[in-house]
Every structure is written in structure tokens, then in C-alpha cells.
Structure 1
Amino acid sequence: MSDNKTVPTDVDPKEFLSAVEHDRRREDGFALLEMMNRVTKLKPVMWGPSIIGYGQYHYKYDSGREGDFFYCGFSPRKANMSLYFIPGYGTYSEFFTRLGKHKTGASCVYINKLADIDMGVLEELTAACVKHMKATYG
């Protein structure tokens, strides 16, 4: 049984991105969709109402909390583009020194626009995240 409120939905990620009002977020969202599709070789899935995620794994904490979540993903939020790398940004500090202008949270990376970052580094980071998650969770 999953305790996670953010679960996969049947919404088409392209339809979701098409409805994003902010022009830059919508354009950057489609660029991220293309890049992550190519790099992960996984099908994009909407998780909850606003996150596009790639891959899926099951977790169970010592506390008994368990659920399913995605390996990596993104969401075009109003304030910024949120990128999710589930192992956490601390695992990939070498990439963040080269990424460009960004801020970090627990497992989130916030950017204003793709033009602020090095897309080659983002591709490396995405590939490393998926490789790590597949090796750890299958």
C-alpha cells in the first residue's frame, strides 16, 4: 500500500505541457520532455497534477512508510522550473558545479529558464540519476 499522495495518472504529458500558460515554461517543458525522453529511454508519466516523471521504483522506510515514486522528472511551476532527481542533489554535486544558474532543495533543482544552464551537463546528470536508480532499485 502506498502512502504517497503523488501517484501516476493517465494524463498525457504533452497535453499537460500544452496547457501551461507561461510561454517560457511551456517551451522549456517541451524541450525537457524531448531531452529526458531521449536520455532516459523511459516513457514519461504524469505524477499528480503537475509533475512529469520517468521510471518507477518502490521504497520502504524503517518507519514502515512505503510507496512508489519516479526516478527523475520535472514540473513547469509558475515561479520556476523544478527538476527532480530522487537520489538528491548532494549525490551529484560534481554536476551542479558545472550546471549553471540554479538553486537546490531536498531532491529538487530550481531554474528560471533552460538558457541559464548547460543542457549537456543536465543530460549527464539525468543519465547518472537513472543509472543509479536502476542499479539501486531495478
Structure 2
Amino acid sequence: MAQLKTRPNGGNVQAFIANVAHEQRRADAEVLLTLFLKVSQRPAVMWGDSIIGFGRYEYSNQRGKHSWLLTGFSPRKQNTTIYIMQGFELFSSEIARLGKVKTARSCLYINRLENIDMQVLEQLLKKAVIDMRHRYTCY
């Protein structure tokens, strides 16, 4: 399970973004950094090699007690991935209005921020963070 391997570390978020090779992903990452800082009210922390996380939550399962990022994003080669940890069932209205995106279990894939409605993205992130804070112990 990737979550058990990916941990917060002392990596420099600004340096990571500055080194993103894809120019559009790098520019989008700067915009997302500002948005996530505003919405989460938590500092940006590198998780593993390529995820910028904001806050964390604790959960338990059969393997024990774990900690994972509350929300975050990663400027990847194919797209930018935004992490909505509880999935998208509660956010179908926002997803429908967001624009050109794809979703998987807890990942929202965006090719370019210019193809989505940034106000809707902000609403989605706010709702997701509030929901996670109600469900879990968050820091």
C-alpha cells in the first residue's frame, strides 16, 4: 500500500515546484499551492518524492493506526493529481461543474487548470477539508 511507504519529510516544497520539468504543471502547481494553503490553513509539506500535502489525519484499520495527508496535490508528468481522500461521492455536484477532469478512488486528475472552474475547485476543496475534519482527528 503506497500510503504506508509515503511519509512527510523535510523536502523543500518551493524547490520541488521549481524543478517540475513541465512548464504548465509548474505554473499550475504555484497556483494550487496558494489555493491549498488558503483552504487547508496548514503548511505545505513534502510527502515522499512528489506529493505536496496539507495537514494530516489519523485513521485505524486492521494493520493498526496510521497518519496520512488531509489533502494535497502532485504535479505529475501526465497530469496534476489532487488528492480528495474520502473520494467523490459527496462532491458529485462540484465534479459535474468543475470542467475537464477525471477521477479515480481518491484522485482528481487535471490536465490544465485553465480547463476547470477555479471557484468550483475551491468549493470542492473546502467541503472536502471540512468533511475530513468531521470524520477524523486532523492536524
Fold-level match, TM-score > 0.5?
yes
Contact 1:85 1:129 in 2 (8 A): yes
Compute the displacement of 1:91 (Å): 2.4
- Give 1 or 2: higher strand fraction: 2
Q: Distance in 2 between matches of 1:116 and 1:91?
A: 22
Aligned residue identity for 2:124: L
Q: How many residues align?
A: 135
Give the drift of 1:40.
Answer: 1.5
| Partner SS state of residue 5, structure 2 | coil
Normalised TM-score (structure 2): 0.92
Q: Determine if the alignment matches structure 1 residue 71 to structure 2 residue 70.
A: yes
1:82 and 1:47 map into 2 onto residues whose CA distance is 14
Instruction: Summarize deviations over 1:36-72 as a string: whole Å, max 9, x none.
Output: 11121111111110000111111111x2344210111
What SS does the aligned partner of 2:6 have?
A: coil
* Structure 1 ranges of 4+ moved more than 3 A: none
Whole-angstrom distance in 2 between the partners of 1:91 and 1:10: 33
Aligned residue in 1 for 2:55: 55
**Identical columns (%):** 41
SS class of match (1:56):
strand
Unaligned runs of 5+ in 2: none
TM-score by length of 1: 0.93
